[in-house]
Structure 1
Amino acid sequence: MSPALLNLVFESTLETLYMVAIAGLISAALGIPLGVALYTSRPGQILERPVLNNVLSIITNVGRSVPFIILMVAIIPLTRLIAGSSIGTNAAIVPLTIASIPFVARLIEGALNEVGPGLVEAAQAMGATPLQIITKVLLPEARGGIINGLTITVVTLISYSAMAGTVGGGGLGDLGIRYGYNRFDPMVMLVTVVILVVMVQGFQSLGDHLVRKSDHK
């Protein structure tokens, strides 16, 4: 590979990390509260709101059911409105974030399901408010599951970011399509795949380590 192409590989790797980081942070900031709302608004839970729960569930399920490649195309007007363009790394962050928020919410809801109801009942018996139960009982007890869910989200975002390259989203996917596929350069394709695999393995290993540390506390 030429120095110019190696520089493109480096820049594309940074673009992928940038997209994943920003989309991951925003989806966690919005998806975690949504997951908590889904769990606590269920019938029999501390903030029981059946109607609200049904509405949130429908919205979340719809968001999760749309294939990412279709979502990218469908929200191009919204992407242009937010990012000012429908191509590039900043534009790709918009569909990445929208696709991952309901994904995070369901993973958080699943993690909270693992918290024993006896802990919540004990907190209620001591007069804890719903907010205190959420922040002092549910979230700390589900820490390992939450970290695992966020790790899965990051890994999924890496694969989604590569898919965004098919429509000019930038990053390693875009590099693989433009230089590897369109120019019939198998070396670029191989390097792109290897870097993506290393990224996935690295984030997964980090997440597993954090989960183990969390479980020991």
Structure 2
Amino acid sequence: MSAPIEKYLQALGETLVMVGVSSVIAIGVGLALAVVLTLTGPRGLYARPRVHKGLSLAVNLFRAVPFIILLVALLPFTRLLMGTTLGTWAAIVPLSINLIPFFARIAQVSLNDVDSGLVEAARAMGCKRWHIVRHVLLPEALPGIIGGMTVTVIAMINASAMAGAVGAGGLGDLAIRYGYERYETRVMFEVIVVLVALVSALQLGGEWIARRVNHRHG
């Protein structure tokens, strides 16, 4: 027997909470980290080779760890913060930490692609370095950053489905408990359809926003 509609709505709601909160955290912290990496780079406004190298190493280290391993490794930290390792809110901790370095690298590439001539022109006009970041680097890199946000949120949906399979709730949990363990192929198919629709909507929305921003800057 297929799962009742209430189960689908509950699972979808849990997935949206996981993805929404984790995305806000990952994008916010990741963007700040990307700015620091850009500014402390060899050609940055605050060139600090040692700081840059240390941060880059940390980012690469976390990016290299598969999510399922990171999920298990962070169980003590998750329990410390949330008081539990199960449920939707507990999953937000590993989901956020997993996607912070991912988005940081994407945003860093967009920031590094900003025409250096614009930065030099702003410096020649006497602009302070923070003003250059706020009024030159971030606005010019915004289309690429928005594209990176879209990719990050989609990756978050995929990771949330994996987290759901180990007790985090959401669509992944529904697919495992009703689709796999009860041999309900229909449930598995319906969850896949929902995930595909969700990802497609996000992709189309992200591309539309990026085009609008790019058009305004163009």
TM-score over 0.5 (shorter chain): yes
The Cα offsets for residues 166-216 of structure 1, whole Å up to 9 and x where unpaired, read as 211110001001110000000110110000000100011110000000011
The code of the aligned residue for 1:64 comes to: R
Gaps of 5+ in 2: none
The 5-angstrom pairing of residues 1-217 of structure 1 reads 5-217=4-216
Match of 1:168, SS state, is: helix
CA distance in 1, matches of 2:195, 2:124: 49
TM normalised by structure 2 equals 0.97
**Counterpart Cα distance in 2 of 1:129 and 1:59:** 29
In the TM superposition, structure 1's runs of 4+ consecutive aligned residues that sit over 3 Å from their partners are none
CA shift for structure 1 position 112: 0.7
Q: % of aligned pairs identical? A: 48
Partners of 2:61 and 2:88 in 1: how far apart?
25
- Give the residue type in structure 2 aligned to 1:170: G
Offset, 1:114: 1.6
Q: SS at the partner of 1:38?
A: helix
How many residue pairs get matched?
216
- Could you list the per-position Cα deviations for residues 37-88 of structure 1 after superposition, in whole angstroms to 9, with x for gaps in the alignment? 1111111211100000001101111111100000001110111111111111
Q: CA separation in 1, counterparts of 2:186 and 2:9?
A: 15
Counterpart amino acid of residue 140 in structure 1: P
2: CA distance between counterparts of 1:114 and 1:199?
30
- What are structure 1's unaligned runs of at least 5 residues? none
Amino acid at match of 2:100: I
Provide the C-alpha distance between the structure 2 equivalents of 1:178 and 1:109, rounded to a whole number of angstroms. Answer: 39
Q: Could you tell me how far apart the structure 2 residues matched to 1:98 and 1:80 are?
A: 15
Letter in 1 for 2:89: N
1:137 shift after superposition? 0.1
Q: State how far apart, in whole Å, the 1-side matches of 2:172 and 2:43 are.
A: 45
AA aligned opposite 2:113: E
Question: Quick one: distance in 2 between partners of 1:45 and 1:131?
Answer: 12
The one-letter code of the counterpart of 1:97 is S
**Amino acid aligned to 1:73:** V
| 2:188 partner letter | M
Q: Provide the rounded CA distance (Å) in 2 between the counterparts of 1:183 and 1:87.
A: 22
In the alignment, the residues of structure 2 paired with residue 12 and residue 148 of structure 1 have an alpha-carbon distance, to the nearest angstrom, of 27
Aligned-pair Cα RMSD in Å: 0.9
TM-score, structure 1 normalization = 0.97
